[in-house]
Structures are given as structure tokens and as C-alpha cells.
Structure 1
């Protein structure tokens, strides 16, 4: 498995391309992602969103149209993908597959697991593919997603952190912003964040 990353737009939102067995999965195509994605895929099979905030979904509809491949997004965030109070010019997008909660999917023979961790937003999820987990805006290196935005929920964030603390696997985490980290590294910070949220 090969992972390509490019920070996109003013918010430097990480767009990822995951290459497995001559197939590619695109994760969180943000602002201005289309040109980079098109230059780096040969056999794309799906677009995935970790959540619905504008800086992660901006290029969804453009890539759906150009590549004619399905978009998988958390069901709870569809409303955020349709319009944005922060960015009224957001190109609206609609998932072909709305992923509800924790789900394991088979996408062209590749196992993809959506792990639902609401709090930052209703549909906020981490996506596990092979030995990598794409944590979106739930977890960053030494930090977590904000819980004071519209549609955020502090109690849901606390429950999500408690759920994450019980994970027994350790894999690399590739966040929506910043540098990679790992499950174990961020589990060490959970008690601190539970006191803050």
C-alpha cells in the first residue's frame, strides 16, 4: 500500500490518495484538490470523506463528475456537504453511499472500515484501510478536533474519546491536518482531553 498526501487550501487540509493493487482511493479532496488528484491516479475506485466540513469535501462533486466513481460519506454530515455558513460558495455534493455509524465495506475488493467518532461534527469518522487509519478532524498529532463549532457536541466528543481509549490496535494515524501520528501515541493524551472537553 502506498499513501500520497498533499495539504490543500488555506486550511492546509490533507488530501490522501491510497494506492492498493493498482487501484486508488481518494480521501478528503479539499479546496483545489482536483488537479493534484487527476495527476496522480490511473485507476481510482472511490472517494471517501472522513466528515462533511467544507475544507474536506470541496472538490467532491468535481471529482465525482470527472472520474465517475462513487462518493462515500458519513450520513450524519450530509447537511454540511450541501451548504456552509463559513463558505457559502461551497460546491454542494451528495454521497452515492451514506455511511451510517461503524461500517465495514468492500470497495472493489478492498476492505474499508468507517469508525464513527462524533463530537467535532455529527458524522465525524476515522477510516481504516489496511495498516493505516485516516483520522480526519477527530484526532491530530497531540490534539483533537474542536467541539465548539455549529453541529459540534462536547458530550459526543467525550464519548468518542472514551471509545477510542479502549482500542487495542496500534496503527499509524493520518490526520486531516498536520503530521502522522499513531493510535498508541494519541491514546496517551485521552485523559488530558477528557478533563478539557
Structure 2
């Protein structure tokens, strides 16, 4: 699998293109991501949102229309795609497929696994493709997503971190901001964050 990344916008939100078996998956197309994505895909098959915050979904609609592919968004964050209290000029988008909970999708033999980890926001999820986990704003290198935003929940984040601790495999984590890390590495810090919330 090949993974391309480009930080987008003032928050340097990582937009990813994961290419596996000749299929390009676009993950979290943020502010002004459209041209970079179009220049770096040859067979785009889906747009995947880890969650609905504006800096991760800004270019959803533009890419849906220009590439003619479907948008997949976690259920809890669908309302955020059309109503951002932070960014009233957010281009609204409508998912073609609403992902519910821990759901596995199959794209002609390529498995895409969503895992629901609410706390940062109601729909916050990770996306696993091959040996990669795209963690959005759930977990970062030595950090976790903020829980002081509208619709955030420290209680849900604690439960999500407990769930994260139970994962019995390792993958490289590609977060929504910053550097890559691994599941096993961040599991070492989970108790610290649970106790800090």
C-alpha cells in the first residue's frame, strides 16, 4: 500500500490518499484539498471521513462532484457536514453512505474497517486499511483529541481509550495532525490520558 499525505489549511490537517490494489481512498479532504487530491489519484474509489469537523471535510462536496465518487461519514457527525458553528462558510456536503459504529466495508476485495471512538466528537472514528490506521482526531503521537469542543464528551473519550487499550494488534497510526505513530506505542499512554480527563 502507498500512502500520500499533505497537511491542509491553517490547522495543517493531514489529508491522505491510500492506494491499495490500484484503488485510491481519499481520507479527510480538508481546506483546499481538491487540486492536490486530483493531481495524486489515478483511480479514486471513495472519500472517507474520520469525523465531521470542518478542517477534515471542507473539500468533501467538491471532490464528490468532480471525481464522481461516494462519500462515507460516521453517523454521529453527519449534522456537522452542513452546520458548523465554527465555520459558517463551510461548503456543505451530504454523505452517500452513513457508517454506523464499528463497520467493515468491502471495495471489491479491499476491506476498510471503521472503529467508533467518540469523545472528541460524537462520530469520531478510526479507519483501518491494510496495515494502516487513520486516526483522525481521536489519537495522535503522545496525545489525544480535545474534549472541550461543542459536542465533545470527556466521558465518552475515557470509554474510547479503554476500548483502544484492548486492541490486540499493531498498526501504524496516521493521525489527523502531526506525525505517525503506532497502536502499541500509544496504548502505553492511554492510562495517563484516561486519568487526566
TM bucket normalised to smaller: over 0.9
Residues 131-163 of structure 1: per-residue CA shift (max 9 Å, x gap):
000000000000000011001011100000000
The answer as to whether partners of 1:45 and 1:108 remain within 8 angstroms in 2 is no
Mapping of residues 47-126 of structure 1, within 5 Å: 47-126=47-126
TM-score (structure 2 length as normaliser): 0.99
- In structure 2, how many angstroms separate the alpha carbons of the residues matched to 1:58 and 1:109? 29
Alignment map for 1:165-180 (pairs within 5 Å)? 165-180=165-180
Hey, what does 1:31 align to over in structure 2? 31
Over aligned residues, Cα RMSD in angstroms? 0.6
Which residue is equivalent to 2:17?
17
**TM-score if structure 1 supplies the norm length?**
0.99
- Any gaps of 5 or more consecutive residues in structure 1? none
Helix, strand or coil at the partner of 2:7: strand
1:109 to partner: Cα distance: 2.4
Partners of 1:171 and 1:139 in 2: CA distance: 13
**Structure 2: any 5+ residue segments left out of the alignment?**
none
Query: Aligned-pair distance for 1:108?
Result: 3.0
What is the rounded CA distance, in whole Å, between the counterparts of 1:77 and 1:27 in structure 2?
A: 15
1:21 is displaced (CA, Å) by 1.6
Provide the C-alpha distance between the structure 2 equivalents of 1:99 and 1:61, rounded to a whole number of angstroms. 17
Q: Any idea what the Cα deviations from partners look like across 1:49-104, whole Å, max 9, x if unmatched? A: 00000000000000000001000010100111112111100001111000010001
Residues 72 and 96 of structure 1 are in contact (CA less than 8 Å); yes or no, is this contact kept in structure 2?
yes
1:140 is matched with which residue? Answer: 140
Q: Which runs of 4+ in 1 moved over 4 A?
A: none
Matches within 5 A, 1:175-194: 175-194=175-194
